[in-house]
Amino acid sequence: MSMPTQGPGLDPGAAGAPHSAAEVRGSSIGELMRQVTADLSTLMRQEVELAKAEIRQEGRKAGKAAGLFGGAGFGGYMVVLFLSLALWAGLSNVMDAGWAALLVAVIWAVIAAVLYSMAKQNARRVRGLAQTSDSVQRIPDALKPHPEGVTR
């Protein structure tokens, strides 16, 4: 998607906008301010449209990547499932099938417990909005006058 590089008033051929120093001198301050305001408004609209187009494009890329990650995660899940079934079947050649299934389940329980413990430790390290909350609580103090001057 191509956005124009010049808006109305920026293009020397734009209708209604002064093009020479003599035309600018002949315009009133109010007219010049109206033209500057109109040009800024047009520029802002164009920038917003460009940002929207970029966000849509990046959103599509991110959505595709998320879908591929989801597919990879499901594929990994299926691999783990069938490897677990293969381990169960292999162990059932050595021991009773019920005990083999229980052994595979215990292995997965240990893996789950270790992952849970690691996740819990990482969750404790997440600070969240502690800094934001702290700075918001300081705002009322910052607005109060301090007779001794600026304090830190």
User: Domain boundaries in the chain?
Assistant: 1-79, 92-144
- E strand segments, the chain: none
DSSP for 100-136, please give it.
HHHHHHHHHHHHHHHHHHHHHHHHHH--TTHHHHHHH
Q: Cα–Cα distance between 149 and 82 in angstroms, integer? A: 70
- The letter for the amino acid at 105 is A
Q: What is the pLDDT of residues 102-143, one digit of tens each?
A: 999 999 999 999 999 999 888 888 776 556 666 666 666 655
Q: Is pLDDT at 1 greater than 90 in this prediction? A: no
59-64-68-73 Cα dihedral, nearest 10 degrees: 30
pLDDT at residue number 68: 94
Rounded to the nearest 10 degrees, the angle between the axes of helix 97-125 and helix 29-91 is 150
pTM: 0.49
